[in-house]
Amino acid sequence: MVNDIAIVYYGGGTLLFFFWAYGIYAFVRDLKNRFIPAFRQYRRGRKRLEEEKREEEEREEKEKQLL
């Protein structure tokens, strides 16, 4: 009887540990494959918009100087 309870206890703990470890693995995988690329794309887009804004301001300034 005690032996059966111990087997169920350790078996359940092992099963829960498996799902816990897989959850950590899945989280890291999602970070690597989804969130980090999305963040990099966001930064590239922001940088591109800032460059376009700066070029537009320079162009407007040159036009004012020519007038």
- pTM for the model stands at 0.63
Amino acid at 16: L
The pLDDT assigned to 66 comes to 80
The pLDDT assigned to 42 comes to 96
Tokens (6 digits) for 14:
């092992």
Q: What is the pLDDT along the chain (67 residues), one digit of tens a residue?
A: 778 999 999 999 999 999 999 999 999 999 999 999 999 999 999 999 999 999 999 999 998 888 7
Residue 25 CA, chain-centre distance (Å), reads 14
Residue 45 CA, chain-centre distance (Å), reads 16
Half-sphere exposure of 9 (CA within 13 A, CB side): 6
Amino acid at 1: M
Amino acid at 27: F
